[in-house]
């Protein structure tokens, strides 16, 4: 069988595609594992540069028309530029909304032929931006034509089932996974920081963490953030070290060298710092994380057992729990590792995706 993977274009993903055995090949959402199972896998980033000029022009026009009509666009240029490859596949796997929205719109108008498995990462936040009933009906009809919709949060799955109604396709909650061998506990005496936080997602609440850091100048904080966050962290106190554009190997070192990993996240439906959370837990680190809807159900998290959970935005509670965890971190980290090994291995995640893609192919034929 042939699968076509549609990726959001990003430099780190392109590096992962050309670097065999790279630690961050998880950014490819199981492409390697499908190939080992005998799938022929193609993708939209096979072209070295930008999509062809005609695809960029057509994509720009399509996005402009959708916005004028009250809709929401995406990377139509990449999708148009690789449409021939996509139509030659048995199944299309949209790994992110940026490419997923163009694909299901083209599926709605029969421009794309194979079944589409759509991955939602914050789709509800996009759908509520639709500005009129006509666009809501168009996008609902397009999404109902997906063979399946994969989500990484049970709360998001419930929202989409309700929004799409009785004709909703199969909406599957698939917990994310982590390579438990690559992220295994190991001795790290570097003592990088007392508290480490990592993330590029716009929902990260680094402001909460730096406020706490100001009140505790005796503690060392390390933050690995995206460029946008880093600009806002220019005024961080001197006990906070900020890094950007850090390869995953160094991120792993930072996590492993922390006494506690802190992941404050603002309230939302899709982000619970899930990837970093599972990586830190796999390393046997005690984690303090915001209890967003994305991780409240389905990730086997128990406050005080395998992590510490704090309501989003509650600065006083986050500070109190962080200090408590710093005082006694050992048992929490060991139980965190056990949870990930038992429930959230990368093998389990990719096995589940393979089953979903195979089922989509079977129904289509």
Q: What is the CA radius of gyration of the chain?
A: 21
- Overall CATH class of domain 2-177+346-364: alpha beta
> Looking up tokens 């108008």, which residue turns up?
109
Question: Pairing relation of β-strands 193-199 and 170-173?
Answer: unpaired
Determine the 3-state secondary structure of 137 from DSSP.
helix
Per-domain residue ranges for the chain?
A: 2-177+346-364, 193-343
Same fold, 2-177+346-364 and 193-343: yes
- Asked whether 91 and 357 are in contact (CB, 8 A), the reply is yes
The answer to whether 91 and 236 have CB atoms below 8 angstroms apart is no
Q: Angle of helix 97-108 relative to helix 53-68, nearest 10 degrees?
A: 80
Q: Per-residue pLDDT for the chain (365 aa), expressed as one digit of tens each?
A: 999 999 999 988 999 999 888 888 899 999 999 999 999 999 999 998 899 999 999 999 999 999 999 999 999 999 999 999 999 999 999 999 999 999 999 999 999 999 999 999 989 999 999 999 999 999 999 999 999 999 999 999 999 999 999 999 999 999 999 999 999 997 454 567 999 999 988 899 999 999 999 999 999 999 999 888 878 888 899 999 999 988 899 999 999 999 999 999 999 878 789 999 999 999 999 999 999 999 999 999 999 999 999 999 999 999 999 999 999 887 799 999 999 999 999 999 999 999 999 999 987 66
Burial class (CB in 10 A: 0-12, 13-18, 19+), 158: middle
- Which candidate, 41, 32, 45, 44, places its Cα nearest to that of 2? 41
Strands in 221-225's sheet, in edge-to-edge order, are: 240-243, 221-225, 193-199, 258-263, 287-290, 308-310
Q: What are phi and psi of 131, to 5 degrees?
A: -95, 0
In the block, tokens 């989509």 appear at: 360
Question: Could you tell me the pTM of the whole model?
Answer: 0.91
- Residue 359, classed as helix, strand or coil, is helix
Classify domain 193-343 at the CATH topology level: Rossmann fold (3.40.50)
Question: Which tokens in the block code for residue 157?
Answer: 């799955």
């Amino acid at each position: 069988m042939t699968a076509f993977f549609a990726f959001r274009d990003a430099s780190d993903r392109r590096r992962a595609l050309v670097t065999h055995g790279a630690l961050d090949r998880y950014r490819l959402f199981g492409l390697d594992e499908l190939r080992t199972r005998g799938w022929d896998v193609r993708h939209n980033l096979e072209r070295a540069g930008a999509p062809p000029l005609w695809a960029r022009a057509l994509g720009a026009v399509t996005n402009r028309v959708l916005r004028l009509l009250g809709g929401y666009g995406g990377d139509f240029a990449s999708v148009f530029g690789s449409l021939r490859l996509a139509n030659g596949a048995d199944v299309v796997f949209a790994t992110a909304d940026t490419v997923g929205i163009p694909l299901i719109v083209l599926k709605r108008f029969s421009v794309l032929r194979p079944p589409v498995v759509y991955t939602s990462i914050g789709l509800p936040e996009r759908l509520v931006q639709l500005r009129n009933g006509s666009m809501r009906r168009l996008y609902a009809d397009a999404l109902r034509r997906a063979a399946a919709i994969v989500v990484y949060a049970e709360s998001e799955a419930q929202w989409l089932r309700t929004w799409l109604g009785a004709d909703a396709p199969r909406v599957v909650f698939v917990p994310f996974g982590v390579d438990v061998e690559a992220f295994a506990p190991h001795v790290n005496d570097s003592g990088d920081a007392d508290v480490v936080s990592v993330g590029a997602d716009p929902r990260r609440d680094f402001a909460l963490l730096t406020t706490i850091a100001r009140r505790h100048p005796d503690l060392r904080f390390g933050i690995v953030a995206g460029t946008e966050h880093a600009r806002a962290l220019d005024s961080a106190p001197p006990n906070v070290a900020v890094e950007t554009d850090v390869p995953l190997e160094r991120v792993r070192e930072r996590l492993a060298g922390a006494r506690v990993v802190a992941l404050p996240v603002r309230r939302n439906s899709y982000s619970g710092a899930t990837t970093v959370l599972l990586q830190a837990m796999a390393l046997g680190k005690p984690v303090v994380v915001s209890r967003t809807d994305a991780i409240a159900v389905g990730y086997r998290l128990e406050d005080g057992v395998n992590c510490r959970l704090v309501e989003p935005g509650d600065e006083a509670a986050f500070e109190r729990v962080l200090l408590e965890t710093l005082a006694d971190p050992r048992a929490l980290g060991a139980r965190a590792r056990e949870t990930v090994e038992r429930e959230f291995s990368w093998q389990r995640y990719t096995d589940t995706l393979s089953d979903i893609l195979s089922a989509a192919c079977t129904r289509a034929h």
